[in-house]
Structures are given as C-alpha cells and as structure tokens.
Amino acid sequence: MSDEEKKDNAAHLEHPEAQAQLADLGNQDDHDLGKWESFRKYPKASFWCIYAVWCVLVLSFENQAGGSILSIPEFRKDFGNFYQGDYVLDAKWQAAFNGAPVAS
C-alpha cells in the first residue's frame, strides 16, 4: 500500500489521545479489581505468580535444610564416624549436603 492510499483509508487514522484515554480506562479497570476477581480474570498470570513464589520459598528452604540436617545428633550417629568422643560426617558428605541445593 502506498502512502497516498494509507492517507485515504479512514480505518488507518491514529488518534494518540484516544489511545491514551483507552489505556488509562483499561488500567483503571484492572486497578479496581479485587484479588479474587483478578485471579478469575487472569488465571495464567496468577498461576505463574504463585509458581514463582513457590519456587523461591522451596529453594530457600532447601538451602537451609541441607545445613540443618547435618547438625542433628542422631543423623550424625547414623551416618557419621566416631571421632574423639563424637560422631562426625565425612567432609565430602558435608560438601554434598551444602552444595547440592546451590548446584541444582
């Protein structure tokens, strides 16, 4: 389509003010939605937000759980070696417990 044909086509006319007003109205409509209404209106976006929060929570727990389990005396007794009156885990196993969450 040439430039002259575009100028003659009424459907091609652009009104920046009208587009800005429509964008403001759409933004205000979304702003007025409640939590449950927004979940119903945008289920995919809601799912991805919940999924992202879940991943952050699970990964942060996983990083702490590895180090915490090493401090449990019964765990060290079951899987460790007796050394100078106490049970200790081998360094390679301690590194695996602490490094695996970071590596995954």
* Mean pLDDT along residues 91-103: 79
Identify the bridge partners of residue 48 per DSSP, sorted by sequence position. Answer: none
pLDDT value at residue 59 = 74
1: pLDDT confidence band, cut at 50, 70 and 90? Answer: low
Residues of the chain above pLDDT 90, percent? 21
Query: Which of 68, 71, 98 shows the shortest CA–CA distance to 86?
Result: 71
Q: Where are the domains of the chain?
A: 15-103
DSSP structure class, residue 99: H
SS3 79: helix
* Mean pLDDT along residues 25-51: 84
Let me know: does 79 contact 89? Beta carbons within 8 Å: yes
d(CA 37, CA 18): 27
Q: What is the pTM of this model?
A: 0.43
83: pLDDT confidence band, cut at 50, 70 and 90? Answer: very high
Note every long-range contact of 50-59, with CB atoms under 8 Å and residues 24 or more positions apart, other chains counting.
59/101
